[in-house]
Amino acid sequence: MDAISATPEALDYFDAAYSKLFDELCVLCRALGAPDEAEDIAQEALLYGRAHLRDLRDERNLRPWLRRIAARGAAAARRRRLPSLDGTETSYVPVDPEMRLDCSEAVARLPERERLAMALVYGLGYGQEEAAQVLGVARGTVAASLWKARQKLARELAPATRKELER
Amino acid sequence: MKAVRLLAHHVDEHRLSEVAEGGAGAMLTDAEQRHVAACDRCSLLFEGHRRALHLLSAPWQRVDVPRVSVPFWRRDRVGRWTELAAAAAIALTLAATLLYSRQTGPQTIGVSTSPSASATSVPNASSSPLPTTTPFVTATPWSGLPSATTLLVVPSAMRTNVPLPAGAEVDTATLVADSDWLVMGVSFPDAPTSEALYAANLHTGALRKIRDSSAFDSVPTAISVAGSQAAWADSTCESSWPSPMPTEQAHSLPQVRCSSWRVVLTDLETGTSRVVAQGSNPDAINDPQDQGSAIPIVPTVALGDDALAYTSGDLTHGIELNLLTLSSGATRALPLDGPLEEMSWAGRDLAWVEDTDLQAAGTGPGGYANPYYLDSQLMVLPNGATAAHPIADGAYFLDADTGEIAWDEGGCEMWTASAPGWQPADTGYEGCPAFVSGGWLGWSDAFQNASLAILAPGDSEPRGVPDGVALTGGWLILGSQPGQPTGYLVAPTQLGVVRVSDLK
C-alpha cells in the first residue's frame, strides 16, 4: 500500500477532523491514567501525527495510529508523575452507588495491563482488537488480561457475599 | 471419615461467568444449579462474577483512591500476622539465596549484550538441588483451589540473562522458545508502534530483530519456534470506527476488515525471512466471546520439526489445513470444518482448537454482521493420519510439546493429554495460560503468591515461581520490572532463563 504522502487533501482531512480527534484522544488519555496531562498529550499526538502524516501508508489507520501515540504519551506521563502528598491517586474506575462495598480500590489494585484493558473495553467500549492496538499487544493478551481481571474482581467481591450470607 | 474432594465436578468458572453475564439463553442447567447450591466455592464464585460484571457495567469515572502499593503476599487480604510471617519467609529465602550464591559462585562467561545487563551466567554443572524452596504461608478462602504453596526462588547463579534491546518491554504472552532460541514480542514505551519480534540465542547471547514494529499493521500472531526457525502470521487489518466518536460511556461494535495476510518463515541464524503463503481479504467472523468483534478466519500457523502447518481458504469454499514439509517442499491439504483458533505441534502429532457450531450472519445478540461460531473442539491429528479426531470441547490456551498437550477449560482449569491415546485428564490445577514442556507443567498463578506455578514430572506438589513468566521449549523464563512488585509482573524489562532440567 502506498504512503498517502501528506497531500493537501490529506492535511485538509486531518485538520477538519482535528476537533473530534482531539476530544477522543483526551478521553482515551484520561482513561489511561493521565487525566491532568490529557489535553497536552492529545495535542502533542496530533501535532506529531500531522508532521508525520506522510509516513502513514493507509489513511484508514489514522485513528488507531494516533491512539497508539497518545497511549504512549499517557504511559510516559504515568511514569513521570510524582506520588501525591495525600497518598491518593486518580484512577478511572467503575462506580456503582448501589454497591455497599467500595469497589474502586479493587479495580485500582489490578495490575496495570489488566486495569488498562478493562478501562478500554468496559470503560470506553473498545473492542479487544481496538484495545490491543492501543496497548500495542496481541489481541489474545487483551483477552487474557480481561479474563484474569474478571477472575480477580470476582474473588475480591465474593468474600463480601460470604459476609452478607453469614450476617 | 476420610474427606474426598471431587475436582472435576465444579461448574467451570467461564460457565459461571457466562451465566452471570446473562448472555443469550444463558442459564444454569438443573445439575449445575444443584451443584452451585451445594458448593460454597461455586456459589461464591458465581456471585462474585455477577457482582464483578454489574460493577464493570456501571458508569466509569475518575475518582481518587488510596495509592495502591500492595506487596504480592497481600493479594488475598491476609492478616497482619500472616504478612509478617510471609515477609520473614522471604527474608529467609533471600538470605539463603545469597548464602548459596556465595558458596557456589557463578561461572561467568562474560557476555554482556546490553548496557544494563549484567554478565551472563551459566549454571554450575555440579549444582545441588535448590536449597531455596521455602515453605510459604498462605491464607486464602479458596482452599478448594489447589495451587502452589511453596516458592521456588531461582538463584542468580543459575540464571542466564536474556539480551533485550534498550528500553524494551516484553509481552509475556509472546514468548516462545525452542533449543537455543527464544522469540519474544517487544514494545517500546516511548515509541508509537506495535510489537516488534526479537530472537535471542540463549547460548551465545546474540540478539536479532526478526520483525519490525509497526504502527500500521496488526501485531504478529501465532508465533512458533522450532530449532533455529520461527514462523508467524501477519495480517494487515483496519478497523472501521464508530461515528460519532466514542464517548466515555459509548459502546459500539468495531468492524475489523483485513486486506491481506501472510505466513512468514524466518531463519533465526541468518535473519532471512520468506513468505510461505499469502492471501487477501480473508473472511471475518464475529466472536461472541469478544463482544462480537470481527476477526479474520485465517491464517493460523504452527511450526514443528521440518513441518509447517497453516490454514487458508474462506467460508464459501472451505478452510484448509496445509501441511508443508520444509525439507522437500511437499504439501498436503486437509479440509477443516471451521476456522482454527490455536494450533501447536506435539512432536509429530498436531493439535488444534477448531471452531464448531456455525451460526448464520444476522443472528446473535444485536444481529452480527458476520457468521459466528458458538463452540470449539480440541482436535489431534496423529502423525501420518488423514483425519483428525476430537478429544475435548471448549479448549483454549493450547500448548504442546513432544507427546503431550495442555490446555485450559472453563475457569482456567488445566487439562492435559498424552500420546498415543490423547485421553484428557484434569490436572486439578487452575491458572491460565497453561504451559507444558519436557514433562513439566506450568500455569499462570494469578491468584496465589507467584506469577507462575510449575510442577516437575512425577511431583505432586507444585512450586510457585515469584518472578516466573513462562515455561517454554525446556526453559523456565523469569522476568522483572522495576517498580512492579514481585508476583505482579506486567511487562518485564529484564528476562532471565534457566533450563527446567537444572531445577529438578
| Mean pLDDT score, A37-51 | 89
Could you tell me if A62 and A119 lie in one domain? no
Could you tell me if A77 and A97 lie in one domain? no
User: CB-CB: which of B62, B220, B444 is closest to A90?
Assistant: B62
Helix (H) or strand (E) run with residue B472 in it: strand B468-472
Min distance A39 CA to chain B CA atoms (Å): 16
Q: Which amino acid is at A43?
A: Q
Cβ pair B433:A72 closer than 8 A: no
Cβ pair B55:A152 closer than 8 A: no
Q: Which residues of chain A does B67 touch, with a Cβ-Cβ cutoff of 8 Å?
A: 83-84, 87-89
Could you tell me if A50 and A6 lie in one domain? yes
Min distance B352 CA to chain A CA atoms (Å): 16
pTM listed for this prediction: 0.60
The verdict on residue A72 lying in a domain is yes
Instruction: Give tens-digit pLDDT for B446-470.
Output: 544 567 889 999 888 888 888 888 9
Cβ pair B293:A119 closer than 8 A: no
Q: Which amino acid is at B273?
A: S
Backbone angles phi, psi at B370, to 5 degrees: -120, 165
Cβ pair A123:B60 closer than 8 A: yes
Annotated domain spans of chain B? 7-52, 74-213+395-504
Reading the block at residue A38, the C-alpha cell is 490529557
DSSP calls for B98-127: HHHHHHH--EE-----STT----EE--TTP
Could you tell me if A101 and A139 lie in one domain? yes
User: CB-CB: which of B61, B174, B291 is closest to A138?
Assistant: B174
Higher-scoring residue by pLDDT: A96, B111: A96
Could you tell me if A11 and A52 lie in one domain? yes
Could you tell me if A132 and A111 lie in one domain? yes
The CATH number linked to A97 is 1.10.10.10
pLDDT of B301 strictly over 60: yes
Could you tell me if A66 and A118 lie in one domain? no
pLDDT of B88 strictly over 70: no
Could you tell me if A96 and A55 lie in one domain? no
Helix (H) or strand (E) run with residue A15 in it: helix A8-16
B61 shares contact with chain A (CB less than 8 Å): yes
Measured distance CA(B430)–CA(B440) in Å, rounded = 15
The verdict on residue A119 lying in a domain is yes
Could you tell me if A5 and A68 lie in one domain? yes
B243 shares contact with chain A (CB less than 8 Å): no
Structural domain count of chain A? 2
What is the pLDDT at residue B485? 56
Helix (H) or strand (E) run with residue B96 in it: helix B80-104
- A window 110-139, beta carbon within 8 A of B: 111-113, 118-119, 121-130, 132-133, 136-139
What distances in angstroms separate CA B392 from CA B344, B380, B410, one per listed residue? 15, 10, 12
Q: Which of B130-139, B218-227, B236-245 has the lowest mean pLDDT?
A: B130-139
Could you tell me if A6 and A35 lie in one domain? yes
Reading the block at residue B38, the C-alpha cell is 451445594
Reading the block at residue B37, the C-alpha cell is 447450591
Q: Please give the residue range of the domain that contains residue A121.
A: 92-167
Measured distance CA(B410)–CA(B18) in Å, rounded = 10
Min distance B156 CA to chain A CA atoms (Å): 26
Could you tell me if A1 and A78 lie in one domain? yes
B66 shares contact with chain A (CB less than 8 Å): yes
How many C-beta neighbours within 10 Å does residue B34 have?
A: 11
Chosen for mutation from A23, A148, A157 (greatest number of chain B CBs closer than 10 Å) is A157
For residue A150, what is the nearest residue in chain B, using CA coordinates? B52
pLDDT of B326 strictly over 90: yes
The verdict on residue A87 lying in a domain is no
Could you tell me if A5 and A25 lie in one domain? yes
The CATH number linked to A29 is 1.10.1740
How many C-beta neighbours within 10 Å does residue B273 have?
A: 15
Confidence of residue B72 (pLDDT cuts 50, 70, 90): very low
Measured distance CA(B431)–CA(B441) in Å, rounded = 11
